[in-house]
Chain A
């Protein structure tokens, strides 16, 4: 690559005092050439977004570049005044962000927000701006652009808002587009569309793209070159194809392994004669309560859902947001009450249980939650958090605390952890505590609701390994709810695919992956970033 547009040279960015490390990025150098897509890959805290923020002049307060330079088209951006920097932003460098739900001003119409880009750089007349905004919305493929231009952000879906963001970033045909995790908050099918759009626009406009992501699947999908970062430093830098096929660094290899593979876990023999859980014709409708003068609204979260699950089996429930998968999980643990249908656990119908009986029977089904930061009471010691369940069910306090220590040992934290508070643990460790808590009551069934979704890829792998290990040791029955097909593939015996509150496919993991029957399942599989790469190299 010869025509270098952007060049980072020995860039070091200092964090404010009291942060967990001194530098957000340290001695980082890489180039971005005109017309290429450079992927910067790393997990949370790797500092992957910091360089982009520095070159935009958008570093958070207290964070600043202390050494090195960022040369954009022959000019060191770090030496610019705020005014010079401002003139560059939006005009020569565009940027899109992770959260399309919050990245647009909720009180301004979409057209006005796009028009602002021209206004900021004194281009066009007000009516000309709106005409261009309409063209841009058409170009990024928004349905009914004439309507969308007058819409407020809340009237658009997440994917549509991200398209608006892209339209805004491209308004003045910048030479460089920075995309900071632009697809992470989106559903997998929407993610695929946005990736296509960015790739397509990049080719048509011939601009350079700096694409920041945590997902090697995305790299396989669009990158020309890739830069892998960890804890503020570059661990690997090279042509995308080369890095994917022949990663030099162990860390890169671990990240690449998280891309889906077609290797299925060997199907295990499970006792199918006496099902542990039988779900029959489950229905759940959410109604937003109307007032005296406003109509109520209905969402069909579960629509005639039926399946059975055997003892010792792991069943994955896979679907996008709004598919009803979480509602299903919450009905099984009875945090939610289904409108009709039956939930038979060992032949006993859980839906019919009422308050006091329900409270006593609850111990039979436990849950592992999604957010390791919200699932532990910040004011309760870890040992107590685990022992609370047995105590509420009549176990002696001392005995319960002792057993909590044993469980902490089992999940690999050591009994000494019992005396500490949740904030002293990392996300992955907290998830282990959550697992210990779920095990404390010896439940017959455990529901794991997106239990690894909030974790970094490398931590994800460890938690999945722990679950796999516990499954073997304790012959757990696990209902594993996830939006991520790759995760489901790693741990599940059977997979149920849900869409709009219905089961669209149900089969062994192998069957669902290798010969999907439903069109929607095929769509989901094809949308997984990096899948083409895997199929090519498999």
Chain B
């Protein structure tokens, strides 16, 4: 069976992929369908959903179009999720690879460092970082990356530690390959599948983190995001529940889709039946 056939065997993963594609489509179409800024006040406030044409999800406390905000927010969520995960991988993969391959004191030092970051409560650290650096897309991406790289480093380290004593790696060392070649050619390719799976789950977590930061008022003040929409509507929840409801569903669906896709990737990349004897 090829990769996609194995992926498609997991029906949940297919559903997740479809939802994810729909959300990506939303993000792409947002500027076309709603060319105006989602921050513009376009109608009277507190319009309930499905009552006024052009405002299928109603308007918020300031008379802004909820549907427009939702679609523009998709772009922000996906962007921050992807970029912060990439940055986290860029920190975690090299650290984990070096710690796992060389072991000994290097490993000790790097792992103490990683443990330190893992001990600090994630979300509290992200809040402090964004608050002090001032909220912006850059500070949010950095904060999320800084709190989410430790699991990557630990995973890569564990993989490297188990693979570095694998006989084919020792054989490569015996024939005189350099450490760099061994790390890049022999070991890294064999750790890619778990990294890819972890990365897809990290994008999901990053989106949750971003929404939580925005909810607390730590979002970039120039971009509309789902978390901000919920946070801004929090105080009027008794009058207008839908203002919080729809952005929340959007987050839920996106994160759910990413998790489903991650599970599908896991099935497709690590077929247990075909797995090598280890």
* Interface-lining segment among A48-56, A367-375, A490-498: A367-375
Cβ 8 A contact of B175, one of A371, A373, A389, A423: A389
Most central of A367, A388, A441 by chain B CB within 10 Å:
A388
Whether A393 touches B175, Cβ cut-off 8 Å, given contacts A378-B190, A378-B276, is yes
Considering only residues 173-225 of chain B, those with a C-beta below 8 Å from chain A are 173-178, 181, 186, 189-190
Residue interface bits B221-243, CB-to-A below 8 A is 1, else 0: 00000000000000000000000
In the complex, the answer to whether A393 meets B176 with C-beta atoms within 8 Å is: yes
Whether A389 touches B176, Cβ cut-off 8 Å, given contacts A378-B276, A379-B190, is yes
Nearest chain A CB to B81's CB is how many angstroms away?
29
Nearest chain A CB to B130's CB is how many angstroms away?
36
Considering only residues 419-447 of chain A, those with a C-beta below 8 Å from chain B are 423, 434, 437, 440-441
Q: Which residues of A contact B189 (CB under 8 A)?
A: 379
Nearest chain A CB to B188's CB is how many angstroms away?
10
Cβ-based interface call for B166 (8 A): yes
Cβ-based interface call for A366 (8 A): yes
Q: Which residues of A contact B276 (CB under 8 A)?
A: 373, 378, 423
Q: Which residues of A contact B171 (CB under 8 A)?
A: 367, 369, 375, 434, 437
Q: Which residues of B contact A373 (CB under 8 A)?
A: 276-277
Q: Which residues of B contact A393 (CB under 8 A)?
A: 175-176
* Interface-lining segment among A30-38, A90-98, A153-161, A356-364: A356-364
A356: nearest chain-B partner, CB-CB: B178
Nearest chain A CB to B33's CB is how many angstroms away?
45
* A interface residues, tally (CB under 8 Å): 31
In the complex, the answer to whether B186 meets A377 with C-beta atoms within 8 Å is: yes
* B interface residues, tally (CB under 8 Å): 21
Cβ-based interface call for B167 (8 A): yes
Cβ-based interface call for A376 (8 A): yes
In Å, the complex CA distance between A423 and B276 comes to 8
Cβ 8 A contact of A367, one of B174, B178, B277: B174
In Å, the complex CA distance between A360 and B277 comes to 32
A449: nearest chain-B partner, CB-CB: B167
In the complex, the answer to whether B175 meets A392 with C-beta atoms within 8 Å is: yes
Q: Which residues of B contact A369 (CB under 8 A)?
A: 167, 170-171
In the complex, the answer to whether A392 meets B178 with C-beta atoms within 8 Å is: yes
In Å, the complex CA distance between A380 and B169 comes to 12
Cβ-based interface call for B172 (8 A): yes
Whether A392 touches B174, Cβ cut-off 8 Å, given contacts A373-B277, A377-B190, A378-B276, is no
Q: Which residues of B contact A209 (CB under 8 A)?
A: none
In Å, the complex CA distance between A498 and B11 comes to 57
Cβ-based interface call for B168 (8 A): yes
In the complex, the answer to whether A359 meets B176 with C-beta atoms within 8 Å is: yes
Q: Which residues of B contact A359 (CB under 8 A)?
A: 176, 178
Q: List 19 A-B contacts (CB under 8 A).
A: A335-B170, A359-B178, A360-B176, A362-B175, A367-B174, A370-B167, A374-B168, A374-B277, A374-B278, A380-B168, A385-B168, A388-B175, A388-B177, A389-B175, A392-B177, A393-B176, A423-B276, A434-B171, A437-B175
Per CB-CB distance, the 3 closest pairs between chain A and chain B, nearest first, are A389-B175, A375-B167, A369-B167
Q: Identify 9 new A-B residue pairs, CB closer than 8 A, beyond the known A371-B167, A378-B276, A389-B176.
A: A18-B273, A359-B176, A374-B278, A375-B167, A375-B168, A377-B169, A377-B190, A423-B276, A441-B175
